[in-house]
Amino acid sequence: MKRPTASSGRTQVTARPESATPATGTGTARTGSAETAGPAGPPEPARTYWLEHAWLTDGRPHVEPGVAVDVTGGRIAAVRTQVTTPPPGATVLRGLTLPGLANAHSHAFHRALRSTVQVGSGTFWTWREIMYGIAAKLTPDSYFALARAVYAEMALAGITSVGEFHYLHHAPGGTPYDQPNAMGEALIAAAAEAGIRITLLDTAYLSSGIARRRGGEPPERHQLRFSDGDATAWAERASALASAVKDGDQALIGAAVHSVRAVPAEQLATVAAWAGEHGAPLHVHLSEQTAENEACLAVHGVTPTRLLADHGVLGPRTTGVHNTHLTDEDIALLGTAATGTCMCPTTERDLADGIGPAGRLQRAGSPLSLGSDSHAVIDLFEETRAMELNERLRSRRRGHWTAATLLHAATAGGHAALGRPDAGRIGPGALADLVTIALDSVRTAGTLPRLGAETAVFAASAADVRHTVVGGRHVVRDGAHALIPDVPAALDRSIAALRG
């Protein structure tokens, strides 16, 4: 596939984004990852990183001083402890190094809403109307520019893999682009250029609400570009996207049911079957709002969780996002099926959604992961902290999870939810994805290195990230992005373009 150089100082992508003209329903493929061998290009040569302090999880999770990590072909070949000084030629990472963070739930275009949606009051439903306004303006070109900057912001925050819950498929009005996956391919290319991995969760979004009629309520005007018409057409387009992606280390294609509001009950099984046939992760917004529960009960006589269970959606490859307003039976169903739970505390509190029963879900057997969702902030340390602190406010008791358990949700738990069980740990055979936080910032100074997990969860922020390594490649070095020199300017330009 020919890869001409894109304009505006970008690295090479599969096709010039300027060729996409959604007003007429056209769009050119730009997979970005189809010809790359890693998150930001060819595999890095073998190298050694020396970690001043490392959080190791093989065996009992603990902080180990003086660790050498040998990397070959983008994976960890060996981990050597008790290495008190950096070996000759090693790259030194001073501070506390953790496995790369996984952002298991993202809507990249919501980043353009930051501050704008903080004006005045309202609910999730009033917030949604503002969100639709931004969604209506995006093209493959502008979405690439925005997502590239957002994913670079994630890299600066120590995130090495993102789960992009993607439903902005077509041109405004619902006309498919000439290349039907132009928008999804723009996101894949954006992640590659920002140097992080992506699991593109291609989302079925077919109706505007639950109805007794087959097919649900028809999409509203702003939702037309989200819909493929029916689940069979969605599956055909998703299959074409999956077959176009050649580099599984950089990009994976998963599936998503937007919600029981947006996928009629009789079509849920089609989405679940596609995920099963492709061995792909399957995500779903679940019981984020009480209104969703009430509508489902009124039409189907069961909760959204029971409806998903009855149509084969639940299971160990499935992750419910939010899982906020659940019954005891719902919690048992999710736990028994080993269906995951992705909590997004900074968004859930920003939208006044409520506090989900994360502790009860985990005890029932639902693995936890974390996401920044609407990107009110992009800070996985804040997400881990907020999950614990939300439980403290609700129960008036401290210490629901250990710091190690919370970090597991932000690392291995998130990567597993995104179809990457080989990430999220510093150990032989794992993907060489690392994040180093400073232990001498105004937030972390004076803490004990052996309590690094507690420091990371309860004191650190994204601003403390000094290094991010993805597949052995140094994407963020000393707090600066190595591939996108001025991330704030890239954010400013791409967001300003959508306000015009």
HEC string for 283-317: EEEECCCHHHHHHHHHHHCCCHHHHHHHCCCCCCC
Cβ atoms of 495 and 111 within 8 Å: the answer is: yes
Residue with tokens 């999950």: 387
Task: Quote the CA–CA distance of 251 and 192 in Å, as a whole number.
Answer: 8
Among the listed residues 373, 379, 433, 464, the single catalytic one is 373
Q: Is 408 a catalytic residue?
A: no
Among the listed residues 53, 166, 322, 375, the single catalytic one is 322
Closest CA to 40 of 485, 479, 491, 473: 473
For the chain, helix, strand, coil in percent to 5 are 35, 20, 40
Q: Can you tell me whether residue 332 is helix, strand or coil? A: helix
Residue 200 sits at φ, ψ, to 5 deg, of -85, 110
Q: Is 330 a catalytic residue?
A: no
Sheet holding 480-481, edge to edge: 75-80, 62-72, 47-56, 91-99, 434-437, 465-470, 473-477, 480-481
Which residues have a Cβ under 8 Å from the Cβ of 138 and sit 6 or more positions away? 109, 146, 168, 183, 498
Task: Quote the CA–CA distance of 159 and 154 in Å, as a whole number.
Answer: 5
Closest CA to 467 of 75, 158, 85, 192: 158
Closest CA to 384 of 98, 124, 132: 98
Residue with tokens 């570009």: 225
Task: Quote the CA–CA distance of 369 and 344 in Å, as a whole number.
Answer: 9
User: Which are the catalytic amino acids?
Assistant: 322, 373
